[in-house]
Chain A
């Protein structure tokens, strides 16, 4: 049981390049989330999904797109990377939105945009 996995672990992009971050979970969770973590800002929600084929905007969605074509995968795309998107990106999943359910986090992807 791998839990939540993220690929890649590290990436360096040049301004204007595009990339996709992949998140996978093997816990049959309905809910999946993408966060970014920045010094002095804490973790902030980018986008989330409440089930296969659905996506919704979080707190800081601009510059990102997401897709949830399969229940176990949640993809985060950057179409034209900017230096402001340099951050550590975390994916998380949860079984439901019930107040008793916690979120399980992946190990993170460290992205640098030059």
Chain B
């Protein structure tokens, strides 16, 4: 059974700092890995999707990497801003219709 773990569970940083969120998964037979953002009381918004054949994806200040063989992904956020405060969720797709989610990292960026 696929299991996804995110470390740390919570992170608090000052504005402007670069930071890394970690995600690990137990079964390397994945179709893709996605990073989502969830704001309090809201749904999930897809940030980056890395297909299994890819190593990384970038969008603005966000960069996500994937090392499928070791079962790891990182989300790098450059020059963090208070508006980045949210919970970040990692999810892997292991069959056509099934996403397995981690519990998330709650990020607080302090002005």
Contacts and interface: CB of A to CB of B under 8 A. Distances in A.
A41 B103 contact: yes
A4 B45 CA distance: 12
Main secondary structure of the interface of B (DSSP, over half): strand
A108 B43 contact: yes
Given A99-B51, A100-B32, A42 B4 contact: yes
B43 A105 contact: yes
A45 B98 contact: yes
B18 to A, nearest CB: 25
Contacts of B49: 100, 102
A33 B89 contact: no
Contact of A45 (B34, B51, B99, B104): B99
Contacts of A31: 97
A100 B51 contact: yes
B97 A50 contact: yes
Contacts, number: 55
Interface residues of A, number: 26
Interface in B41-67: 41-46, 49, 51-52
A103 B42 contact: no
B15 to A, nearest CB: 28
Contacts of A33: 97
B7 to A, nearest CB: 14
B103 A40 contact: yes
A113 to B, nearest CB: 19
Residue from B45, B51, B101, B102 with most neighbouring chain A CB atoms (10 Å): B101
Interface of B: 4, 31-32, 34, 36, 41-46, 49, 51-52, 89, 91, 93, 96-99, 101-104
Given A33-B97, A103-B99, 16 more contacts: A41-B103, A42-B89, A42-B102, A42-B104, A43-B101, A45-B98, A48-B97, A56-B97, A59-B98, A97-B96, A99-B52, A100-B32, A100-B51, A102-B46, A103-B46, A107-B42
